[in-house]
Structure 1
Amino acid sequence: MAESVIIKNVTKKYRMYKSKKEQIGDLLFPGKMGSDFNAIDGISFAVEAGDVVGLVGINGSGKSTLSNIIGGIVPPSSGEIIAKGEVNVIAINAGLNNQLTGIENIEFKCLLMGYSKEKIAEVTPQIVEFSELGDFIYQPVKKYSSGMKSKLGFAISVTADPDIIIIDEALSVGDQTFADKSLAKMNEYKNRGKTIFFVSHNLSQVRNFCNKIAWIEGGQLREYGPTNIVMKNYNNFIKQYHKLSYEEQKAFQKKLADRRKYGKAKVKK
């Protein structure tokens, strides 16, 4: 099967500063103050058309950074993403304007997605119905709960029909009924052969929904392959991690953070 997304040695670096003084100093004397932090460090793998790839890893591993790079929201510092088709990102942080009402956000986001006025008028009733927000659709988004924002953002995003879809924790907020309906929509995309990247802490969802897994640890690719193999290894890791004391977990996280800051060592397989 043809490759749909190729991730080639992608790295994302951020400059870290301990104070405003350091930040200003780095502007005056580039590279002399502050330090680099590798949010993503040299990740490479290829995804075939129709693959559903789960991105897993403990908090802060770099899953969302990688998904945002694949989605074109964040540019890589180096490396390349080759996406063969239109890409759409569905995330909890859907970029809604808190000052606008729900209905105004529908028009605003649809315009950003390139929809014509006629297309917006056509899809708006579908979005309102899918969101299950009722009369709240006419209220300012600043009055919404996180679950309501997620519903609206998801309902707007799924009106698009992209070739490649990135789902970042979008099914983890809201009531179970809506989560089930959203997952059914994603399964519809899956059955139509869309390429999907799925970021979630719900490992049961990941296991049931994805056919491949990319395990990210400390900004690096620890393992990539079939779900049954990688999830078994990742679950064993999680069990061992949870057995560690609080101090041992902090030490493990510090080791990963130091490596990302200084770039001295690779993850041991």
Structure 2
Amino acid sequence: MTYKVKVENVSKVYDLNRKRKDRLLSLLSFGLYSKERPYYALRNISFEVEEGDSVGIVGLNGSGKTTLSDLLGEVTQPTTGNITIRGKSSLIAINAGLNQELTGEENIRMKCLMYGMSEAEIDEKFDQIVEFSELEEFIDQPIKTYSSGMKSRLGFAISAHSDPDVLIVDEALSVGDDTFASKSGEMIKEFQAKGKTIFFVSHSAKQVGKMCNKAIWLHYGEMVKFGACVPVANEYARFVDKYVAMTKMEQMNYKKEMLQKQKDRSKDYTIEKEKPNVLNVVTGLGLTGAFIVAMLFQLNVI
């Protein structure tokens, strides 16, 4: 079979520099001035998934699960590497793509348009989406008044009815009541029966073992294992048992050690970065000067 999703040497790097002044100076100087503190959220991830596969993504908090699901859902782009998806992907996560100021109805229409649905298709499926979400009484209220469970239900209902080729479920079923989780699970089974490709992000190896045929184990930004679900999920479960058996102090020290290794790996990124091109720097400085002059005119200083 040919692949449905192909991830090739993908890394995602974030700049941990939070000072607004330094970010602005770096932008205006085209990289000549930089106080970046790069951080590898994911590093050199590669795998292929076939049509009809259900892939569990497991790992501790901070392992990179949500970063990977955002990349697969095309919410963000990789810093390096390539992701090829043959078809339309849809990410189901709490708050994913929801506008807090808009009502439930407005969010349904906005997200469906983003998925490429026509106005006629949205009108046809609107009542089904509302009914599935069980939010009839609240559909005219702003999303910011919803609980986490309500947002999750709305997001799942919208994405599930957009008929995606690739569905990414990021912890969305862990929030809310058991009845809705059961109903959502049944819909996922229907997608599986139709041969849809599904990524299921979870902390629970047991849950992944029930719903998936393949699994990815992420650990502090790197992929430990990828393959048949049961062996990977079992190995991850054994690791979790050992981790849980640690004392709070041992767990804290382990996290510090892993985070330090992640930071040490991130140092290589500054070496890999391309040095500023002289022409780009001169152009950047010229544009910066023009920007400053324009601002001074705006403020009536000159």
TM bracket, shorter-chain basis = over 0.9
> How many angstroms apart in 2 are the aligned matches of 1:252 and 1:95?
34
Q: Which residue of 1 aligns with 2:72?
A: 70
Matched, 1:182 2:198: no
Q: Describe the SS at the equivalent of 1:81.
A: strand
Matched, 1:108 2:110: yes
1:44 to 39, 43, 46: 46
Q: Structure 1 stretches of 5 or more lacking a match?
A: none
Q: Structure 2 stretches of 5 or more lacking a match?
A: 268-302
Q: Does the aligned pair in 1 maintain the 2:40–2:266 contact within 8 Å?
A: no
Structure 1 residues 264, 64: closer, same or farther in 2, change over 3 A? closer
Q: Does the aligned pair in 1 maintain the 2:205–2:236 contact within 8 Å?
A: no
Q: Does the aligned pair in 1 maintain the 2:173–2:184 contact within 8 Å?
A: yes
> How many angstroms apart in 2 are the aligned matches of 1:74 and 1:101?
25
Q: Describe the SS at the equivalent of 1:157.
A: helix
> How many angstroms apart in 1 are the aligned matches of 2:234 and 2:51?
24
Q: Which residue of 1 aligns with 2:283?
A: none
Q: After the TM superposition, which segments of 4 or more aligned residues of structure 1 sit over 6 Å from their partners?
A: none
Q: Which residue of 2 aligns with 1:137?
A: 139
Corresponding pairs, count: 265
Q: Describe the SS at the equivalent of 1:14.
A: strand
> How many angstroms apart in 2 are the aligned matches of 1:105 and 1:99?
9
Q: CA deviation at 1:83?
A: 1.2
Q: Which residue of 1 aligns with 2:273?
A: none
> How many angstroms apart in 2 are the aligned matches of 1:156 and 1:264?
37
User: Normalising by structure 1, what TM-score?
Assistant: 0.92
Q: Does the aligned pair in 2 maintain the 1:131–1:152 contact within 8 Å?
A: yes
Q: Does the aligned pair in 2 maintain the 1:37–1:262 contact within 8 Å?
A: no
% identical aligned pairs: 46
> How many angstroms apart in 1 are the aligned matches of 2:24 and 2:184?
46
Q: Which residue of 2 aligns with 1:84?
A: 86
Q: CA deviation at 1:50?
A: 1.0
> How many angstroms apart in 1 are the aligned matches of 2:263 and 2:211?
34
Q: Does the aligned pair in 1 maintain the 2:39–2:266 contact within 8 Å?
A: no
Q: Which residue of 1 aligns with 2:126?
A: 124
Q: Which has the higher helix share?
A: 2
**CA RMSD in angstroms, aligned pairs only:** 1.8
1:259 to 247, 258, 261: 261
Q: Does the aligned pair in 2 maintain the 1:9–1:43 contact within 8 Å?
A: yes
Q: CA deviation at 1:243?
A: 1.6
- The range that moved more, 20-29 or 242-251, is 20-29
Q: Describe the SS at the equivalent of 1:138.
A: coil
Q: Does the aligned pair in 2 maintain the 1:8–1:81 contact within 8 Å?
A: yes
> How many angstroms apart in 2 are the aligned matches of 1:174 and 1:32?
44
User: Normalising by structure 2, what TM-score?
Assistant: 0.83
Deviations 1:93-119 (A, max 9, x none): 232222222122212222222222211
Matched, 1:14 2:11: no
> How many angstroms apart in 2 are the aligned matches of 1:219 and 1:76?
13
